[in-house]
A = this chain, B = another copy of it.
Amino acid sequence: MKSLTEHLWFETPHRRDYLNITDTVEKLVRKSGVQEGLCLVNAMHITASVFVNDDERGLHADFERWLEKLAPEKPHSAYDHNRTGEDNADAHLKRTIMGREVVVAVTDGKLDLGPWEQIFYGEFDGMRKKRVLVKIIGE
């Protein structure tokens, strides 16, 4: 069995951002030498997400509005978590909706993605350094 472990670092310019990381993950799959296996990609921070969806700007604007409706950032005082000195309780909830991780099949040495599937890093409490873990196992 082969395995590869890598960390990707991000520091986004805004509180919330969506970054397409598909090419970066694809390069790591090649580097791993795995032909058949699984690739786990997960946020290592609990106010960020890794998810698969479409690389379409309008959809990302829809996500932004929708997540603000389901889990509004303000008022910060609406959340018990923010009494700890944080202001990011909403980011914990938004990331819960979007998901912590994706597991993608590796087939013939490549990410086995559908035609529109792209892997995104979803940041909900940015402007600080944060990590994503990529773990690939297989043969």
Contact = CB atoms under 8 A, between A and B. Distances in A.
A89 B62 contact: yes
Interface string A75-90: 0000111111000010
- Majority-rule SS of A interface residues: mixed
A13 interface: no
A7 to B, nearest CB: 10
B93 A96 contact: no
B5 A107 contact: yes
Contact residue range for chain A? 35 or more
A46 B114 contact: yes
B93 A62 contact: yes
A79 B64 CA distance: 11
